[in-house]
Each structure stands twice: as structure tokens, then as C-alpha cells.
């Protein structure tokens, strides 16, 4: 495989970049086609060639650009991240310009669980993507089933998650502080406002928890609204917005947070959830199928059935949970199912199959 060249197509998100860095040693050259400039790490391998493109759905001219790139580098294998416009334009370019190559499509979650519900055009787009690639991967059994519903005649579907890159040998519970952590994007889908409202009720009705802090990482279109909400609730001293974090800083917050909350209305397996669980945070998650693949309610976390009662779930956890015992169980669970070093060979094997 070291003599091969591969094209990786996807956004310049941290998840894509991590994957790019991980597979770089296994290829002679990687052609990375993305939507914009990306933060190139100092240790970036010199076998990566980057091209930027406008992947907006209506920008059909990008298909010719993609085709020219694939032809210039004589690409025989293309790995696409997300079954949205990234996949559509790439697969259309391969089809229209009759490029002889194999393709792998890795689905992320919203592309399968949300995008098709936005209208018939988007549903057809996703179905086209699924039906015109050689191999599909998803990160949860639930999403694999949803893919099969959308494209019953699609080719092989493999359930593989990226997993944690730097997994701790053990969880040091002595580092834990009275911190509740949320690091999902500030979009309606993720219900960050429900977490803030629950936290407000929690410390108002339980004076002995007044020293607890809510750390809200990430950002998004609702950030200003959420900051205003915190100010109106008088929580300026109890809620900290820390923005988009480096991976190192995020890991440091996982290490000290006692509870991690993630309440998306829809999602596939979240890397943030896996990381938080692996670093000993007690998870309180929304009741969606992908979360149920990792957490059994009352066993190794809590499944919130009602966002309006989230404060009760937090309080119950603080009163009844053996955090050290749960953290050890979850550390072993992630170690068995979601370590990147263990899962990467599964992706490399797919490349070999093609």
C-alpha cells in the first residue's frame, strides 16, 4: 500500500484532519480535496497535497475541478467523508468524466439522519451517493440500518468508528472536579439551551451544589443567544464558555469533568461521547439509538428521557452513582470497542479489498 496514492475528500474539520494524519504513513501520496485552508500541524507529513474547492451544492463547476485533480494524479482510490455535497460532487465527477477508480464513502451522522428529511431533493442526493459508491462505512449499527433503508440495493456497509486517538492507560479519578462539561456545537440540534436551563435549576434548588461549574465548549450560530441566556439567568460566575478547543485542551477538560452531557435530537456515534466516556466522565445522554449502543441507562450512564427534567438526572447521578466504578467499566468498554489504533486497520483493510 505504501506505493499507492489515495484521494481523501472532505471538510477541513478536526475529525477529517486527524484521519488524514493517521493514514499518511501508509501511502506514498495523499491528495486531500477540501473546502478551505486547514491548520497544518508542524509534524505534517510531506506526502500530502492539498486542493481547495467550493463544495456548495449548486456549484456544479467544482465537478470538473475534482475530475481534473483525480486525472492529474491518476487516482485509483477515493475516500469521501460525508454523504452530502462532498460525496455528490465527487461521485458525479467520477461518473461524468468516466474516471476509473474505486470509492469508499464514510457517513458521519447528520448526512444520513438529518439531511434526507430536509426535502425530496436532499433525500435523492443522499440516495445517489449511497448507490454510487463501492463501499460504505458508518459509525453505528443504527446508522447502518438507516443507510440500508435509504439504499436497499447499495453495496457493502461496514460499521466502523474512528475511535479515540490518544487513549489513557487508566482514569485518574483524583483529578475530577465539580465540573459538568458540554462540548457539542451551538446549534438547535444539540439542545445546549436545555443544558443551561437544567444547570440553573440544579444550583438554584440545591444550595450544596453551588460550587459546580458548567463548562460549555465549542461554538456555533447560537453562541450569542446562549451567552445572553446565561447572563439573564445570572449564571455568569457558574458557566464558562471556552470556545473551540485544541485537542489537548479538550482532553484536559475531559480529565477533570465529573459529568458530561450530550443531548442531540439526532446523531450517530459521537466521537465526543466516546472520548468523554473513555476519560472517566459520567455520561448523561439523549435517548437516541446511537447513544444506546454505548450506554445502558443506570448501568454505565444515564439516558435522559425528558430534557425538561435534565436537572433531576444530574442530581440523581450525583446522589447515587459510584463514579469510580462506572469510570473503570466505561474505560474498559471504550478500550474494547473504540480505540483508533485498533480501528484504523479496519479502514486499511477496506483499501486493500479495492
Convert the pLDDT of each residue in 307-327 to its tens digit. Answer: 999 999 999 999 999 999 999
Mean pLDDT of 196-205: 97
Range with the poorest average pLDDT among 138-152, 154-168, 220-234: 154-168
**Average pLDDT estimate for 130-154:** 92
**Distance between CA 134 and CA 103 in Å, rounded?**
5
Residue-level pLDDT at 44: 75
Distances (CA, A) of 208 to 37, 70, 202: 48, 61, 10
pTM recorded for the entire structure: 0.82
The whole-number pLDDT of residue 276 equals 95
Read off the pLDDT of each residue in 28-41 and give the average, rounded to a whole number: 85
Cα(226)–Cα(59) distance, integer angstroms: 33
Strand partners, 282: 259
Cell numbers representing residue 116 in the block: 434526507
Amino acid at each position: 500500500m505504501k506505493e499507492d496514492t489515495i484521494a481523501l475528500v472532505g471538510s477541513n474539520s478536526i475529525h477529517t484532519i486527524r484521519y488524514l494524519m493517521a493514514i499518511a504513513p501508509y501511502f506514498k501520496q495523499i491528495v486531500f480535496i477540501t473546502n478551505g485552508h486547514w491548520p497544518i500541524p508542524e509534524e505534517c507529513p510531506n506526502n500530502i497535497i492539498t486542493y481547495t474547492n467550493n463544495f456548495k451544492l449548486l456549484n456544479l463547476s467544482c465537478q470538473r475541478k475534482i475530475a481534473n485533480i483525480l486525472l492529474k494524479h491518476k487516482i485509483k482510490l477515493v475516500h469521501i467523508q460525508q454523504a452530502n455535497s462532498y460525496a455528490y460532487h465527487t461521485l458525479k465527477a467520477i461518473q461524468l468524466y468516466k474516471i476509473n477508480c474505486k470509492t469508499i464513502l464514510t457517513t458521519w451522522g447528520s448526512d444520513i439522519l438529518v439531511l434526507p428529511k430536509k426535502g425530496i431533493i436532499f433525500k435523492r442526493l443522499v440516495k445517489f451517493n449511497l448507490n454510487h459508491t463501492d463501499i460504505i462505512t458508518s459509525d453505528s449499527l443504527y446508522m447502518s440500518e438507516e443507510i440500508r433503508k435509504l439504499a436497499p440495493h447499495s453495496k457493502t456497509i461496514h460499521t466502523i468508528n474512528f475511535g479515540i486517538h490518544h487513549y489513557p492507560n487508566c482514569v485518574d479519578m483524583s483529578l475530577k472536579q465539580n465540573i459538568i462539561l458540554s462540548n457539542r456545537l451551538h446549534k438547535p440540534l444539540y439542545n445546549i439551551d436545555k443544558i443551561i436551563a437544567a444547570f440553573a435549576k440544579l444550583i438554584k434548588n440545591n444550595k450544596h451544589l453551588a460550587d459546580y461549574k458548567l463548562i460549555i465548549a465549542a461554538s456555533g450560530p447560537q453562541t450569542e443567544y446562549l451567552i445572553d441566556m446565561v447572563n439573564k439567568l445570572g449564571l455568569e460566575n457558574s458557566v464558562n464558555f471556552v470556545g473551540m478547543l485544541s485537542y489537548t485542551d479538550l482532553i484536559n477538560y475531559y480529565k477533570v469533568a465529573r459529568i458530561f452531557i450530550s443531548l442531540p435530537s439526532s446523531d450517530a456515534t459521537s466521537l465526543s461521547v466516546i472520548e468523554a466516556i473513555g476519560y472517566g466522565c459520567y455520561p448523561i445522554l439523549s435517548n437516541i439509538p446511537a447513544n444506546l449502543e454505548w450506554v445502558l441507562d443506570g448501568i454505565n450512564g444515564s439516558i435522559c428521557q425528558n430534557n425538561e427534567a435534565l436537572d433531576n438526572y444530574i442530581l440523581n447521578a450525583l446522589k447515587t452513582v459510584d463514579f469510580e466504578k462506572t469510570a473503570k467499566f466505561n474505560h474498559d468498554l471504550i478500550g474494547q470497542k473504540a480505540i483508533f489504533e485498533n480501528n484504523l486497520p479496519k479502514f486499511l483493510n477496506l483499501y486493500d479489498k479495492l
